[in-house]
Amino acid sequence: MAYGLTPYSPLGLACVIGLTLVSGCTGAPQAGASFAPGSAGQPMRSVPNVRTDPAKYLGARELYVVDTDSGSIKILKNKSYAELGQITSGIFNPTSVFLDKHGNLYVANSTAPNVTEYPPNGTTPSFTYSDQLMEALVVTADSHDNVFVVDDASKEVWQYFQGSNTVAAECSPSGTSQMSGIAVDSKNDVFVSFDNGELIEYPGGLSGCNETVLGASLSAAFGMTVDKQGDLVVCDLAAGAVDVIAPPYSSVTRTFGSGLVEPVNVTLNQTNRLAFVVDYDKDVQVYDYQTGTLLTTLGTVYGLVSPLSAVDGPNAVY
């Protein structure tokens, strides 16, 4: 059973097959991995990225939304949010979508299981990540062209170099519940959320799996991102809100999204002016991130029936 097919419950929060949590960690880099000096052990690409321009993406500004009802990635034009089309090639029960700073789009296909990558404005996969994946649940990318995937079946977090289908690093978080979100900040710190509200940080990256359990505990932590100030922005599904948590992540700084029912995913645009929050199986709500004001709601009128994840292009990857 895949993430997103069983309705979330603030009490049970069961949405996938439950497996026994694997303890310990196996964060040693795989064969062929290399490390950049001064990167706190963060695996970096060992070869130049020849498929994308190193500059930040300045192309089309569109909103990409996982719509489980149609089994596709809906493409909406920013500002008007008119439906421009959809991506179906390479899509198999999609659960998560993310954009890197170059404009490459990543889609986690839970039952394939794999992550498909699409070039800027492309609708056909340019690369597929599948090494050791059992059930790709959530995908994200950092500013160093690393791709991170939460694997629900194996209870692992996998890291790949962009354009390489070989795992570069892996960790088995010690959280006592189901992993539900992942984010990476500008310092290469990796954050993982759990549906029982736990939050874990890997300072400097996955190498060594040196995890820290954060003091801030939510009712039910799901999708999350990081803003320009290094604050964690986390969906609290049971509370029906989005929490902003400033370093050292010991308590919630502020919340927004009072009209949300079951928020499962949040992303920010590049300027941090807008926050896109997915209310599970309902709609995508667009907020002014600084004030928490609801600006618009994207539902069936915009072609969305069962949204699960959304990301703005170009995205805020630092």
- What pLDDT digit, counting tens, does each position of 226-264 carry? 999 999 999 999 999 999 999 999 999 999 998 899 999
Asked whether residue 207 is domain-assigned, the answer is yes
Q: Does 17 have pLDDT greater than 50? A: no
Q: Does 18 have pLDDT greater than 80? A: no
- Distance of alpha carbon 247 from the chain centroid: 20
Asked whether residue 265 is domain-assigned, the answer is yes
Q: What is the pTM of this model?
A: 0.84
What pLDDT score was predicted for residue 200? 97
> pLDDT digit string (tens) for 107-133?
999 999 999 999 999 999 999 999 999
Section 122-147 average pLDDT = 96
What pLDDT score was predicted for residue 271? 94
Asked whether residue 21 is domain-assigned, the answer is no
What pLDDT score was predicted for residue 54? 42
More confident residue, 299 or 16: 299
> pLDDT digit string (tens) for 187-234?
999 999 999 999 999 999 999 999 999 999 899 999 999 999 999 999
Asked whether residue 13 is domain-assigned, the answer is no
The DSSP bridge pattern shows strands 105-109 and 114-118 to be antiparallel
| Whole-number Å distance between alpha carbons of 93 and 96 | 10
% the chain with pLDDT above 90:
76
| Whole-number Å distance between alpha carbons of 48 and 103 | 17
Q: Does 60 have pLDDT greater than 70? A: no
What pLDDT score was predicted for residue 302? 96
| Whole-number Å distance between alpha carbons of 13 and 7 | 8
Asked whether residue 17 is domain-assigned, the answer is no
Q: Position 23: which residue type?
A: S
Asked whether residue 41 is domain-assigned, the answer is no
CATH code assigned at 115? 2.120.10.30
**Which of these, 294, 291, 290, lies nearest to 263 by C-alpha position?**
294
**Which of these, 106, 190, 121, 118, lies nearest to 156 by C-alpha position?**
190
Count of residues making up the chain: 318
Per the listing, tokens 């049971």 go with 238
Question: What does pLDDT average to over the chain?
Answer: 85
Domain residue limits at 111: 56-312
Q: Does 43 have pLDDT greater than 70? A: no
| Whole-number Å distance between alpha carbons of 288 and 276 | 9
Asked whether residue 205 is domain-assigned, the answer is yes
pLDDT category, 57, cuts 50, 70, 90? low
| Whole-number Å distance between alpha carbons of 214 and 248 | 8
| Whole-number Å distance between alpha carbons of 226 and 161 | 21
C-alpha distances (whole Å) from 168 to each of 37, 69, 78 are: 17, 34, 35
Q: Does 32 have pLDDT greater than 70? A: no
| Whole-number Å distance between alpha carbons of 93 and 100 | 21
The count of domains in the chain is: 1
Those residues whose C-beta lies under 8 Å from the C-beta of residue 191, and which sit 6 or more positions away, are 182, 183, 184, 185, 199, 200, 201, 202, 214, 224, 226, 232
More confident residue, 25 or 109: 109
Q: Does 170 have pLDDT greater than 90? A: yes
| Whole-number Å distance between alpha carbons of 47 and 200 | 30
Q: Does 4 have pLDDT greater than 90? A: no
Asked whether residue 213 is domain-assigned, the answer is yes
